[in-house]
Structure 1
C-alpha cells in the first residue's frame, strides 16, 4: 500500500508505453489504460508492477467504472498521466464536424473526464497530474486545425487545474512533445519531411519516446514538488525557433 501508483492512459504504445516502463523501473506501480485491448494485453504481460485496464477515456461511463477499479486494485493513486490521444490531419475546409468531435472527445474530453474522476484520490495522496499536449498546441501548423486546437485547449486546462487543485496540494503540469521518432512517424514521414524537421530543430534530430518519458516521470515525482502549472516543451528547441530561417542558425 505504500508503493506509489500511477495511471497512464494511452499506455499500449508510444510515449504512454515508454512512460509506463520507465515509471516501473523507478519503483512505481502502474495502471496501464488503453482502449486497444489486444495490444495492451500483449505489452503489459511481462511488465512486473503493471496492471492493464481497458477503457475508452472519451466515454464517461467507462471512466466512471475504471477509476474505482484501479483504486480497488492498488489502494491509492499518486499520479495521472493523461497521454491518450488521436491525430487527424487535413485542411480546414476538409475537416468535417465528425472528425473535429472525434479528436476533441479523446484529446480534450478524455483529459477532463479522467482528471476529474481521479481528483479525490489525488487530493488524498497530494499527488500530481501530467497532461500530454503537443508542440502543435504551442505553435500553429498546417493541416492541424482539430489536433492543434485540442492540444492548445489541454494546455489551458492544465493551468485551470493547477490554479484550483493547488490548494489541495495536487500539482498539475503539461508536457508538449515535439517531433518524436516513433514507429508511426518514421513510417509516414518522407525523407523530405525528416530533413525539414531536422533543419527546424536546434538539436537537429527527432526526440525519443524515452526522452519524453523522463520529463513526465520527473514531473510526477517528488523531485518536482514545487513545480505546478507549467507547460514544458520537450522538443529539442523546436518551439523556440518559431518561423526563423534554419539557414540563419548555421
Structure 2
C-alpha cells in the first residue's frame, strides 16, 4: 500500500524548490520505485498494489498545483501499470479520497471541520481496501473516489508557514 504523502500549499511561485522536490519524491517517485522493486513478486503471486492518491488527482488543486500534479501522476502510473501487468493477475487500485481526518493537516492552514459529514475517516479507507481484497477473483476495481457528503474546510493559522 503506497500511502505516504506530503503536501505544501499556497501560490505555486511561493513554494520553495526543496518543498516541491519533497512532494514529488514522496508522493510520486517513491511509489514508482517501490512498485518496481516488488513488481516481479507481486505479479508472480497475483498481488495487489494500492495507491492512496487524493481527490486532487482528479480535480484542480487550487493552491496545491505541485501536490495535485504528484497525485495525478501517481494515479496515472497506477492505471498504466495495471494495463501493462493485468494479464499476470496483478491488481493495481487507485483510491482517491477527499479530505481525510488524519495528522496530514496539523501544520497546514486548513483542515477538516468538526462536522462528521465533512471528512473521511481513515478506517473507511481501510474498509474499502478490505472490500476490494474480498472481491471475486477476476474482478478489479481500479479507481475509486471517496468524498464526504458535505464540502467544508476549516481555515486556520499555520503553525509552520511556507
TM range (shorter): 0.7 to 0.9
Q: Say whether 1:215 aligns with 2:128.
A: yes
CA shift, 1:182, in A, is: 2.2
Contact residue 128 and residue 171 of structure 1 kept, 8 A = yes
When normalised by structure 1's length, the TM-score is: 0.54
List structure 1 runs of 4+ shifted beyond 4 angstroms: 186-191
* Structure with the larger helix share: 1
From 114, 139, 145, the counterpart of 1:233 = 145
Closer/same/farther in 2, CA of residues 189 and 153 from structure 1, 3 Å limit: same
Contact 1:178/1:238 (8 A) holds in 2: no
| Equivalenced residues, count | 150
Q: CA deviation at 1:236?
A: 2.4
State the 1:96 CA deviation.
3.2
Is the radius of gyration larger for structure 1 or structure 2? 1
Question: Structure 2: 5+ residue runs without aligned partners?
Answer: 152-162
Q: Deviations over 1:148-196 (max 9, x none)?
A: 11001111111101101101110111001111122453785669x738x
- 2:63 and 2:110 mapped to 1: Cα distance? 16
RMSD (Å), alpha carbons: 2.5
Partner of 2:113: 194
Unpaired runs of 5+ residues, structure 1, are 1-80, 240-250
| Aligned residue in 2 for 1:115 | 35
Contact 2:97–2:147 (CA under 8 A) maintained in structure 1: yes
